[in-house]
Chain A
Amino acid sequence: MIEIRGIHKYYSTEFNKLNVLKGIDLTINEGEFVSIMGSSGSGKSTLLNIAGILDEYDYGDYFLDGTLIKGMSQTKAALLRNEKIGFVFQSFNLLPFKTAKENVALPLYYQKMPREERQELAMKYLERVGLKEWADHYPNQMSGGQQQRVAIARALISKPKVILADEPTGALDSVTSEEVIDLFKQFNEEGVAFVIVTHEQEIANDTSRCIKVKDGLIEN
């Protein structure tokens, strides 16, 4: 599903060139439930961004579902992201001026799905995450846990192959964190792969495999 081969990534500043990823090899299979751990600055977020085609890499190869992701146009990257990947962020990243339902439906807008259909599907997914009654609320009317569940519904609505979650519980208390991970597990059982970047050992323990990143390299 995700095939990363010898990937290097540099960040150039005015004064020096920072080697963030120093040759990463990583394979994530379809339907896997994986966590990535590492201290801040280890390169784990960069790795996730590359996997999500949000960022580019300098050397190596990255195959997503068999497609080589290299020097790709923004348009093609956007279409692939929309089709194959769902994102869950630490700070939820919902659009504040849209209701929960509209937020969930957003990826389908970029698939040019008709509005009625979109809304219907969004309701279905909101129901799945237990927020059917909150469909017409705005993000600032909801708790952090609720917002994250809306974000999860949004990530899943385009039926992606993999969900990339960057510290999804970083802004949540332990109870709601557990709820979020439980939701992840539910959807994982339906075949969606999850890659969760975290620095909480408990969450890593819940996953079937933990990848440890240190100084731009994979340790295990």
Chain B
Amino acid sequence: MGIFDKDKWQEIYGTIKKNKLRTILTALGVFWGVFMLVFLLGMGKGLENGVYRDFGSGARNIMYTWANRTSMPYKGMKPGRRIRMKLDDIEALIAEIPELAEAAPRNFMGSIPVTYKESQENYELRGELTNLKDMVGLMVHQGRYLNQRDIDERRKVVVLGTEVIKLLFGDSTAVGSHVQLRGIDFQVVGVYGPRDIKDWTRDDMESVVIPLTTMDQAFGTNNEIDWLICQPKEGISVAAMEPKVRAVLKKRHKVHPDDKDGIGGFNLEEEFSQVQSLFMGIQLFLWFVGVGTLLAGIIGVSNIMLIIVKERTKEIGIRKAMGATPVSIINMILTESIFITALSGYIGLALGSIIIAGLSYLMVANDINVQKFYNPEVNLGVAVFSLMVLIIAGALAGLAPALHASRINPVEALKDE
């Protein structure tokens, strides 16, 4: 009597059909367990996706570094000395730290007047190289961003934030026209903005970007930079690279190696991995709750199956008198149990997935933006795992009742009351 024996399934179908309420009650516990597991994990995933989205779409394996006032005397210099990083620090870093893949600087010149024809507004002026755009998650709306020739030839080109365009240009096209930055003429080559619009990315919309080299030439910033993003080569952690970056910068700027100030830094990767482990914890907890619910459902099935077997004592006695072997009785109860558990679990899985997918779809379709919640999803691994657990669980749930059934004494079972 194999699994695919048509006769056995007809027997089971017949039994189930005749005992609908009993079957539904049995199925309910497992259905609910799987549904909760899938639903909880799906919602947990939504929370996770939401928080990860808040990290933005820039690179995550990066560190920021900047210069501060020193706090320790060093080589005859007093503490409190102001340190400024410069463009040539980048070349030095690249040369001395083999782990470092890229370093992207930015220099701020504060708010300066930007003029287009008759209108003038004050905006933050930024000096950059070409490589910062992708690291911090910026996107180009029109035209282009800075390129290497702009840097090398110190071209007077500017990329404007989206809000700048709105206020200064209104409906007319900006790319190709000229604006004056603090009275100096620059050609507009592109329009940019943040990839994800957030409270803290508004600055990106209300600023203008020019090549760092041009900034030095036009405004005399002496190639200074305010901060630098460093990204290690693939496969190397930021933590492995960070001390070296700091050490090189300290050495170049004559900061005491033990000075906690002077050169500052922030490891985004570390921050990110902390959030990651938080979500590992949350997920573990959700699994715990979900599997617990599922387990309760399975124990429920086992209990109900046991009651069912007791209720069916007479039937089993009759079957035995008709020549049913203990194995065939075990087979019957187990298959029933697995069938009911797997089917109801599958329905729970399907419904949970549909609800999660529907929720995700509705949020996208209606453009609903919830803080810290985004794109809930059920991953395939969870689904496959649940189904396998269900089949094993069905077998376990049916085991005790099946063994009980196989031991039923037909003489006792058939005794007339």
Bitwise, B303-336 to A at CB < 8 A (1) or not (0) is: 0000000000011011111111111100000000
Inter-chain contact B324/A78, CB cutoff 8 Å: yes
- Chain A nearest Cβ from B316, distance in angstroms: 10
Q: Which of A109-117, A122-130, A189-197 contacts B (4 or more CB under 8 A)?
A: A109-117
Whether B371 sits at the interface, judged by CB under 8 Å, is no
Number of residues on chain B facing chain A (CB within 8 A): 29
Whether A220 sits at the interface, judged by CB under 8 Å, is no
Q: How far does the alpha carbon of A78 sit from the alpha carbon of B327 in the complex, in Å?
A: 10
A107 and chain B: residue at smallest CB distance: B322
Whether B117 sits at the interface, judged by CB under 8 Å, is no
Inter-chain contact A82/B15, CB cutoff 8 Å: no
Q: How far does the alpha carbon of A90 sit from the alpha carbon of B417 in the complex, in Å?
A: 11
Inter-chain contact B314/A93, CB cutoff 8 Å: yes
Candidates A54, A75, A98, A111; contact of B410 at CB < 8 Å = A54
Candidates B10, B314, B317, B319; contact of A106 at CB < 8 Å = B319
Bitwise, B363-386 to A at CB < 8 A (1) or not (0) is: 000000000000000000000000
Contacts of B6 in A (CB 8 A): 115
8 A Cβ contacts from A112-152 to B? 112, 114-115
Inter-chain contact B320/A49, CB cutoff 8 Å: no
Bitwise, B1-45 to A at CB < 8 A (1) or not (0) is: 100001100110011011100000000000000000000000000
B326 and chain A: residue at smallest CB distance: A74
Inter-chain contact A90/B326, CB cutoff 8 Å: no
Inter-chain contact B326/A78, CB cutoff 8 Å: yes
Inter-chain contact B321/A81, CB cutoff 8 Å: yes
8 A Cβ contacts from B271-328 to A? 314-315, 317-328
Bitwise, A79-104 to B at CB < 8 A (1) or not (0) is: 10111000101110111111000100
Given A54-B410, A78-B325, A115-B10, are A93 and B320 also a contact pair (CB < 8 Å)? no
Contacts of B321 in A (CB 8 A): 52, 54, 81, 87, 93
Given A102-B14, A115-B6, A115-B10, are A95 and B324 also a contact pair (CB < 8 Å)? no
8 A Cβ contacts from A43-92 to B? 49, 52, 54-55, 74-75, 78-79, 81-83, 87, 89-91
Inter-chain contact A90/B416, CB cutoff 8 Å: yes
Inter-chain contact B323/A95, CB cutoff 8 Å: no
Contacts of A52 in B (CB 8 A): 321
Q: How far does the alpha carbon of A54 sit from the alpha carbon of B319 in the complex, in Å?
A: 12
- Chain A nearest Cβ from B216, distance in angstroms: 91
Contact count band on A: 20 to 34
Whether B184 sits at the interface, judged by CB under 8 Å, is no
Q: How far does the alpha carbon of A87 sit from the alpha carbon of B411 in the complex, in Å?
A: 12
Inter-chain contact A93/B414, CB cutoff 8 Å: yes
Contacts of B1 in A (CB 8 A): 112
Q: How far does the alpha carbon of A217 sit from the alpha carbon of B318 in the complex, in Å?
A: 28
Contacts of A55 in B (CB 8 A): 411
Q: How far does the alpha carbon of A111 sit from the alpha carbon of B7 in the complex, in Å?
A: 12
Q: How far does the alpha carbon of A204 sit from the alpha carbon of B410 in the complex, in Å?
A: 27
Contacts of B328 in A (CB 8 A): 78, 110
- Chain A nearest Cβ from B17, distance in angstroms: 8
**Residue from B10, B11, B321, B406 whose CB has the most chain A CB atoms within 10 Å:** B321
Contacts of A35 in B (CB 8 A): none
Contacts of A97 in B (CB 8 A): 14-15, 17-19
Whether A158 sits at the interface, judged by CB under 8 Å, is yes
Q: How far does the alpha carbon of A121 sit from the alpha carbon of B319 in the complex, in Å?
A: 19
* Among all A-B residue pairs, the 10 with the closest Cβ atoms: A82-B323, A97-B18, A110-B323, A78-B325, A75-B325, A107-B322, A54-B410, A74-B326, A93-B318, A55-B411
B contact residues vs A (CB 8 Å cutoff): 1, 6-7, 10-11, 14-15, 17-19, 314-315, 317-328, 406, 410-411, 414, 416
Q: List 6 A-B contacts (CB under 8 A).
A: A54-B411, A54-B414, A81-B321, A87-B322, A102-B14, A114-B7
A contact residues vs B (CB 8 Å cutoff): 49, 52, 54-55, 74-75, 78-79, 81-83, 87, 89-91, 93-98, 102, 106-107, 109-112, 114-115, 154, 158
Q: Given A52-B321, A106-B322, A110-B322, output 18 extra A-B contacts at Cβ < 8 Å.
A: A74-B325, A78-B325, A78-B326, A79-B323, A81-B320, A81-B323, A87-B321, A89-B416, A93-B314, A93-B318, A94-B318, A95-B315, A97-B15, A106-B319, A109-B7, A110-B319, A115-B10, A158-B323
